[in-house]
Amino acid sequence: MDSKDISVVVQGPVDGKGTQKCLRSIRKYIPGANIVLSTWKGSELNGFDYDKLVENEDPGSNVCSIERKEVNNLSRQIVSTYGGLKYVNTKYTLKIRSDLIFYNSKILKIKFENLKKNNKYCVFKERILVPSIYSKLYLSENNQITPMLFHPSDWLFFGLSDDLKYLFNIELPKEPEFSLYYKHNLKNSRFVDPYDYNLFQYTPEQYIFYNAVKKKIAVKFDHRTDINSRNVHISRLCMLNNFYIANLGQLGIMNFKYDIKEHSLSDIDYSGLYTNERWEKEYKKYLDKNYKPRFSFRFINRCRYLSFVAIRKILKRFPVLYAIAKKIYWLFRFRRKQAQFNKTTNKKV
């Protein structure tokens, strides 16, 4: 794939040096790509490197958790993403959040175009590449499984420009009814809702993808706990036939705000995470019995993380030793992250 055929839509609020590093990393690892920065009117943009600036009217956020005073930014994501997509003329588009940076160009080497599909469940012309963080099959809490339907990650989408425009050409949710849906409506009592404190009708990821699905496939999914065997089946096959899911390491991206990796997530989020390994197993099961999945380091990485948690638990019994170990650990993490940042901007540590 020639990077000159790619537009990169960087959407969301700008964050000073962080977003500058995002843009520089794109210039370095996807050279020749057309960069569209889609943000809000009145943003401070001195020193930012882009080809096209789109300044959108901020639709604002909406309270979705009265208990935790959290807000829902779904409308902001739709407005800033589709606002940028309107100015894309290339064959391919990579949509990313403004707080992500690349540290290599692996994303351009991922091949999935020739994989088999079941056209009955295809919404797009081709599969769209998304990261495993936070693509979800289910959530697990207190040994109870709650399926998370139509839930691809919204951190990054990479595919045909026409497909991304189709995905984001949707109406904004009606507010405040959407964000406070469960304040006035009952949930499906058969399932535990790990996000019980959030009142929104769907997660942002579900709202975006389900609205694309229902344009072409007959499915009735009225709210995020509207879970039944038919919806689970359709969701599973729609996720498999419309997306290729890759782990963060395969994509060569990191978030400069949150140092997140698949194996370091909480048990609630990790257990049902739709990783690349899971995608390949699903693909082999439903679409190609002869497919050979790649070797997975998932178990090894998870063991490393659990060992770290166990050591931390022991050290906490000795406050002085724990404080010293914590300082050394965060100093190491800071230096490593700084090295990754500087690598993307051609600076020495």
For residue 293, the model assigns a pLDDT of 82
For residue 193, the model assigns a pLDDT of 84
Whole-angstrom distance, CA of residue 24 vs CA of residue 26: 5
The label of the residue with tokens 């089946």 reads 233
Cβ atoms of 92 and 159 closer than 8 Å: yes
Whole-angstrom distance, CA of residue 9 vs CA of residue 12: 10
For residue 294, the model assigns a pLDDT of 72
Q: Which residue from 211, 118, 141, 137 is spatially nearest to 172, judged by alpha carbons?
A: 211
Q: Which residue from 239, 232, 230 is spatially nearest to 281, judged by alpha carbons?
A: 239
Record the tokens describing residue 275, joined without a space.
Answer: 């990783």
Q: What HEC string does 213-272 produce?
A: HCCCCCCCCCCCCCCCHHHHHHHHHHHHHHEEEECHHHHCEEECCCCCCHHHCCHHHHHC
For residue 162, the model assigns a pLDDT of 98
For residue 218, the model assigns a pLDDT of 95
For residue 113, the model assigns a pLDDT of 86
Inter-CA distances, 302 with 46, 261, 297, 309, 343, Å: 42, 10, 9, 11, 27
For residue 67, the model assigns a pLDDT of 87
The distance in angstroms from the start CA to the end CA of the chain is 32
- Contacts (Cβ under 8 Å, ≥6 apart) of 5: 90, 91, 92
Point out the residues of the chain with pLDDT beneath 70. Answer: 259-270, 295-302, 304-306, 308-309, 330-331, 333-349
Domain boundaries, the chain: 3-315
Angle 52-54-60 from CA coordinates, rounded to 5°: 155
Question: Model-level pTM?
Answer: 0.84
Angle 93-277-249 from CA coordinates, rounded to 5°: 55
Compute and round to an integer the Cα radius of gyration of the chain: 21
For residue 348, the model assigns a pLDDT of 41
Q: Which residue from 142, 145, 129, 131 is spatially nearest to 272, judged by alpha carbons?
A: 145
Cβ atoms of 5 and 91 closer than 8 Å: yes
How many helices, marked H, and strands, marked E, lie in the chain? 11, 13
Angle 53-57-63 from CA coordinates, rounded to 5°: 125
Q: DSSP characters for 102-160?
A: ESSSGGGG---TTS---GGG--SSS-EEEESTT-BSEEEETTEEEE-TT---SSEEEEE
Angle 256-328-260 from CA coordinates, rounded to 5°: 25
For residue 349, the model assigns a pLDDT of 33
For residue 302, the model assigns a pLDDT of 61
